Chains A and B, each alone.
Chain A
Amino acid sequence: MSGRCETFDHTADVGLSAHADSPEELLEVLAECMCDQVCPRKNVAPDSEREISVEAPDFEALTVDFLDAVLGAIQIDRFAVASVKVTGVTQTSASAELLGTDLDPRRHEILTEIKAVTYHELEALERGGQWTARVILDL
């Protein structure tokens, strides 16, 4: 995978900045980087699988909704995520398989709680064959 995602500083919160060769890879690196902020993936065994799918009016909103669905798996369904595999993506829909295991506070370190994936200064687009995104997470 050539895509990469890093965090950046933002007033009171944290941002994700990602680059990738495809929209699939873009959503994967964003989602995995976000998971690492909440519950580092290195400690999570890929024991079971979850599927998510989202639809939105445009690719930026789709990016928010996709990350929100991954976040829901962790924070609502208590599913610790080891990896994210996007199985299909268009400008307005995305589906993915999440590999991971039931979240166990004794085995999995929970670093922070993310209140929400926000629309502030949101950017998710293709430019010259490269897919880039900037997303701010409300902590």
Chain B
Amino acid sequence: MADRFEGKIEQVDANRWRIPKGSQPGMRVDGLIFSSAELIGDVISGGGPKQVANVAALPGIVGASMAMPDIHWGYGFPIGGVAATDVDDGGVVSPGGVGYDINCGVRMMRSNLDAGDVRPHISKLTEHLFADIPAGVGVSGPFTFSSKEMRKILARGVEHLISCGLADASDAEATESSGCLEGADADAVSPQAQKRGADQCGTLGAGNHFVEIQYVDEVYDARAAAAMGMKLGQVTVMIHSGSRGLGHQVCGDYLKSLRSAPGKYGIELPDRQLVCAPVKSSEGQQYLAAMRAAANFAWCNRQLLAVQVRKSMSQFFGARDTDARIAQVYDVAHNIAKIETHTVTGRRRRLCVHRKGATRAFGPGHRELPACLRPLGQPVLIPGDMGTASYVLLGTQTAMDRTFGSACHGAGRVMSRKQAIRHAQGRRIDVELARAGITARARGRTGLAEEQPDAYKDIDAVVECVCSAGLASKVLRLIPMGVIKG
């Protein structure tokens, strides 16, 4: 079972809980968990606080070892963890701070259709998408890339797909980092990792990944919604996937190759899964180059999934004399490490910001945001589980000041997969969802049971906590109509 934290956790205010430095040997900074009183019970029993305290031991960490309200146990870092290390003061980068699914993330697209147009067809539309979108374990996609092309994907991300006619400039503009991280190096990605991902670009995968047809159920911020081209009742598509086997292999490769780095650099760690190296070291630079390449692969994966969704929906509605047009709203990473400049105790510092199960939430005016969204802040896409709501939020200046511009990434699990399967025994999750007006199709035998709504925290409570803490503000709530899973 996950380690239960026996140290001190003290409430700071309605939305913050502190693990004081010194609660556990080796902590260099406090731990800080964003949570409400309603959620803190699950947070503590979920094993995350012990990991927040472990992360506080990383060399060069600044501010606090933080976690969002969707925190739950992960490998090394908790899911929902945010930690920034000072690049110019011995700060480290840790593959455990990114996770195995490098640049797992969320893409949201808007359509020109209303819920009323789609609802009569949702069952057939879901079947149609389920037939067209490669999903599930061991399933390859329709896109095959030569090894030369794969290297371009790894090095240039979505920019390469634009040159192939598989993306356009508006897709890239509406993607975090324009879908391409500078400093990616295909040579840092092992041949095994490249082979593992060779036929997976444009495939959904399994587990909690999905394509969802949703509609806008509530608008909280009309100005921001209008800037995103969104309105009440509008149908949207959300894609949740990552870097597939390529990213898993990159993480595994570097956990192995960095084994000797802590000894070499005199770093003591409370958990082997937190293995790390100074950002400026050759080992750290090599990992970052590979991680960036895997991140570029993930953006291409979501782009190619989007291409297939657009084509599939266009064909489906075209056969019904309806012109379905799908445009991208935004795409965010929620498992990534990036070099960013932030103000810490009044000084501008170059930081390696790890977000593992956390979303970048830059506030208004940030130069990295697309021009049309810059006055508002960055869209923060929060996928719910398949039976409840998803949210579109906006990043804030408070997030910049308190969390290095970060917010939550989802609801967060409260049940293990096996627990969820046991909980679903004797039940038909698909029938229960259908009663709620949601058509769900999954390739695997246990996919719907593992991902049932009861397996997750209450997304409304998680989002409420993040917004009450000032890390983001609500723009839209989205309700699922059709879901496909691996």
Contact = CB atoms under 8 A, between A and B. Distances in A.
Interface of A: 9-14, 57, 61, 65, 68, 72, 75-76, 103, 105, 110-113, 115-120, 122, 138-139
Contacts, number: 78
Given A11-B47, A11-B413, A76 B75 contact: no
Given A76-B196, A113-B138, A14 B252 contact: no
B417 A12 contact: yes
A110 B444 CA distance: 9
A119 B255 contact: yes
A57 B257 CA distance: 11
**7 closest pairs, A vs B, by CB?**
A113-B137, A119-B272, A115-B248, A110-B138, A115-B100, A9-B418, A11-B73
Contacts of A9: 416, 418-419
Nearest to A58: B259
Given A11-B46, A12-B417, A118 B137 contact: no
B137 A11 contact: no
B273 A118 contact: yes
Contact of B192 (A10, A14, A72): A72
A87 B2 CA distance: 35
A65 B253 CA distance: 10
Given A11-B73, A119-B255, A112 B418 contact: no
B259 A118 contact: no
A65 B192 CA distance: 14
Contacts of A139: 207, 417
B105 to A, nearest CB: 16
Contact of A113 (B75, B245, B251, B252): B245
B72 A11 contact: yes
Interface string B206-243: 11000000000000000000000000000000000000
Given A11-B73, A110-B137, A138-B100, A119 B273 contact: yes
Task: Name A's interface SS.
Answer: loop
Contacts of B46: 11
Given A116-B248, A116-B251, 10 more contacts: A9-B416, A10-B2, A11-B1, A12-B416, A57-B259, A61-B259, A75-B245, A111-B444, A115-B100, A120-B273
Given A10-B1, A11-B73, A139-B207, A115 B101 contact: yes
Given A113-B137, A113-B206, A119-B273, A10 B416 contact: yes
A111 to B, nearest CB: 7
Contacts of B272: 119-120, 122
Interface in B38-94: 46-47, 72-73, 75-76
A57 B272 CA distance: 13
A106 B358 CA distance: 38
B416 A13 contact: yes
Of listed A12, A103, A105, A117, residue having the most chain B CB within 10 A: A12
